[in-house]
Chain A
């Protein structure tokens, strides 16, 4: 069992829908990450939160909106997505010291109709 919990595990949505992905960790980690992963490709970094502040945005389209309500929670709000946004969305967390590894959740499999 992973210590980073992501919900939902699967999500199917239309291009006009609004939905949110959720991520939770209780390891006391102060850095949290969102990744997008397409088949047969490595995870692609989207956002990094460090001490609840957005510190890296890898030029992600505004239809993806991250939120970090507290040190344990990370959300990714989705609106007006495109079919090419269908992918596995991974959340990870780590200490913010740049030394310790990231721990990944099981991911949310997102399909855009």
Chain B
């Protein structure tokens, strides 16, 4: 059974701090990794994609991938109250020749003003 694990939280950080969200996955052959942000009652919104080991930065967001440890993380710098949401980790996995996401359970982030 292919799995993606996240701490469900809530993770509470003060405004302006760095929020660190973590995800581990079991499928060693996965090649594509994604972070989505989902506000309550809304649909998931793509934040970051990462495919290679190392760091990828986009504005206040940095995704980190370590395939040897099967670990992907998301750092949010200068956290804002508007960042309060559930963050979903998704790993692309092959099933009968078709690709599909394996989602983590999501981490709820609260940024305190």
Binding site for B on A (CB under 8 A): 2, 31, 33, 41-43, 45, 48, 50, 55-56, 88, 90, 94, 96-107, 109
Contacts and interface: CB of A to CB of B under 8 A. Distances in A.
Interface of B: 31-32, 34, 36, 41-46, 49, 51, 88, 90, 92, 94-101, 103-106
B100 A101 contact: no
Contacts, number: 64
Given A42-B88, A98-B94, A99-B51, A104 B44 contact: yes
A53 to B, nearest CB: 10
Contacts of B105: 41-42
Contacts of A107: 42-43
B101 A45 contact: yes
A84 to B, nearest CB: 19
Nearest to B98: A55
